[in-house]
Amino acid sequence: MLKSLKPQKNRGVGGRFAIVASLYNSRYVDEMLRAAKTELKRAGAEIQVIRVPGAYEIPVVVTRLARTQKPALSAIICLGVILRGQTSHADHIGRAVSQALMEIQLAHEVPVIHEVLLLENEEQARVRCLDEKFNRGTEAAQTALAMSKVMAQNGLSIS
């Protein structure tokens, strides 16, 4: 069941965040990106946005960001939309991206927020990306801010 988003009290949290967003299916990704940026700006965060051609290209940029950013980023948000078609191609892309993002966050100890959505159809994309009550970009930013707090409060942040 899809839950509607609850407002978060993140004003003044700050931090440095990167968002890596796919250009493919831009109608949906652009709205997730807009929502994520709005939520991060509300928290006083510094934001770097990098656009890549498609979901499959997200992990290589995330790896470079996780490895080279000094001081380390508070979190990296990944945004993309993969729509299933008549072949299994979308499943292969979704699985590869998910596995890569998990490995990157473990290897580099930087929270990687995975909102590369593998969806059945455009209706699911409209609800999750265009509807303010369910926008996964807002949710991704809220998760990034929460993970930034967890890391800092427990002495887990790396500089």
Flag whether pLDDT at 159 surpasses 60.
no
Q: How far is 59 from 156, CA to CA, in rounded Å?
A: 23
Catalytic residue among 89, 92, 108, 114: 89
Give residue 21's Cα distance to chain centre: 8
pLDDT, tens digit, 9 for 90 and up, residues 49-72: 999 999 999 999 999 999 999 888
Domain limits, the chain: 36-152
Q: Which CATH architecture has domain 36-152?
A: 3-Layer(aba) Sandwich (3.40)
pLDDT tens, residue by residue, 66-115: 999 988 899 999 999 999 999 999 999 999 999 999 999 999 999 999 99
* 102 token code pair: 């998990």
* Residue keyed to tokens 């059945």: 120
CA distance 89 to 105: 25
User: Residue 14's pLDDT is what?
Assistant: 83
Beta-bridge partner residues of 78: 20, 114
If one counts every other C-beta atom within 10 angstroms of the C-beta of residue 71, the result is 9
% of the chain beyond a pLDDT of 70: 90
Determine contact, residues 143/124, Cβ cutoff 8 Å. Answer: no
Instruction: Tell me, yes or no, if 114 is annotated catalytic.
Output: no
H helical segments located in 13-159: 26-42, 58-68, 89-108, 122-125, 136-153
The whole-number pLDDT of residue 100 equals: 98
CB 83 within 8 A of CB 94: no
Chain-centroid distance of CA 8 in Å reads 17
Average confidence (pLDDT) over 109-136: 96
* pLDDT confidence band for 10 (50 / 70 / 90): low
